[in-house]
Amino acid sequence: MTGPFGLPADDALHVTKRRLLEVGLATLLERGYNATGIQDLLVATGVPKGSFYHHFASKEDFALQVVDRYLADVHVLLGQTLGDAERPPLERVRQFFERLLAVYAGQGYLGSLLGLLGQEQAAVNTAFRRRIEHAFAGIAGRLADTLDEARRRGDLPAESDPLQMANLLVDCWEGAALRSRVARDAAPLEAMLEASFRAAFAA
């Protein structure tokens, strides 16, 4: 069994909990938080209500655990791509986004779960805002480490700020993911990558 990014599922998770998280991710991506009902999840998975509440304290707890599951796979993808010592650092960063784009394509260009829930819930729910802020910061931090490697190699100007660049990449990606969701098309994401890395390689 695989997780949301086509990666091996976490065998440590109880099979019922894993199933709920998998269906929950697909449902939250398609409908968002407010339009996702617990009863819909129970019907889709065939899980009794008591089993749901054995694993999750509430709908909010469930959605936050879906975010954590999703983010864990993002970090596996970061590790696989940024850790590829056979490629120059800028190519590794681009490869991460290209593989993320392939994931989005497989999901029908529904975009980023972090961006979707962040837009919907961050303004009204402190738990979501903190979790998603922490998620974006963690992703940007790992990208910044690889961009700093590129700077030290001379692939980026010496005065470059790797963390600032990483945050800008994440911000632009999330905006393009929203446009991609609206259009159900890869074009906004592809344009973002082309513009960002054309500028980086030109520098």
Per-residue model confidence as pLDDT tens digits over 139-151: 999 999 999 999 9
Confidence of residue 9 (pLDDT cuts 50, 70, 90): low
Cα gap 27→35, rounded to integer Å: 9
Cα gap 96→127, rounded to integer Å: 28
Per-residue model confidence as pLDDT tens digits over 62-92: 999 999 999 999 999 999 999 999 999 999 9
For residue 38, what are its two tokens?
């617990």
Confidence of residue 97 (pLDDT cuts 50, 70, 90): very high
Chain mean pLDDT for the chain: 92
Per-residue model confidence as pLDDT tens digits over 13-52: 589 999 999 999 999 999 999 999 999 999 999 999 999 9
Q: Where are the alpha helices (DSSP H) in 2-125?
A: 15-31, 38-45, 49-55, 59-82, 89-106, 113-121
Domains observed in the chain: 60-202 (1.10.357.10)
Give me the pLDDT at residue 1, please: 41
Which pTM value belongs to this model? 0.90
